[in-house]
Amino acid sequence: LAKTTQPISMDSYEGQEVNITCSHNNIATNDYITWYQQFPSQGPRFIIQGYKTKVTNEVASLFIPADRKSSTLSLPRVSLSDTAVYYCLPPDGAAGNKLTFGGGTRVLVKP
């Protein structure tokens, strides 16, 4: 299992860009990095997944450098509703068919 490290919390303001960096020094060659979002009392929700370079969807961008030892989730122009916990997850398990959630990064968006 690739151990991940990400900030415990981050504060931001509405309209700003939020960047959350996760380090995963011993990520396996075939592993993708996946990010999930969780609002209070709700199940986690998939945001984005990538292997290398840059991936973008309607919600976020994911930047993974060539060495793949870290990844950065970028949330453009956050709103109050983006206040949530964000998890960086490599696959886990012998078959890679489960996700192991760490503590995540608690993002608080202020007005």
Partner 1 sequence: EPEVTQTPSHQVTQMGQEVILRCVPISNHLYFYWYRQILGQKVEFLVSFYNNEISEKSEIFDDQFSVERPDGSNFTLKIRSTKLEDSAMYFCASSEARYLGAPGELFFGEGSRLTVL
- Dihedral sign, CA of 105, 74, 44, 89? negative
Strand partners, 110: 13
| Contact flag: residue 108 with partner 1 (CB under 8 A) | no
Minimum separation from the CB atom of position 52 to partner 1 (A): 12
Report the site for partner 1 in 52-91 (rule: CB under 8 A).
87, 91
Number of residues that bind partner 1 (CB under 8 A): 31
Is residue 103 a contact point for partner 1 (CB under 8 A)?
Answer: yes
Q: What are the φ/ψ torsions at residue 104 (nearest 5 degrees)?
A: 75, 175
- Residue 7 or residue 16: which is nearer to partner 1 going by CB? 7
Distances (CA, A) of 74 to 20, 47, 56: 7, 11, 9
The encoded tokens of residue 39 equal 């609002």
Q: How far is the CB of 71 from partner 1 (least distance, A)?
A: 14
Considering only 11, 25, 28, 54, the residue that binds partner 1 (CB under 8 A) is 28
Kindly tell me the burial class for residue 26, based on how many C-beta atoms sit within 10 Å of its own C-beta (0-12, 13-18, 19 or more). exposed
98 contributes a contact to partner 1 by CB under 8 A: yes
Residue 17 is encoded by which pair of tokens?
Answer: 């860009």
Binding site for partner 1 (CB under 8 A): 28-32, 34, 36, 38, 41-46, 49, 51, 87, 91-104
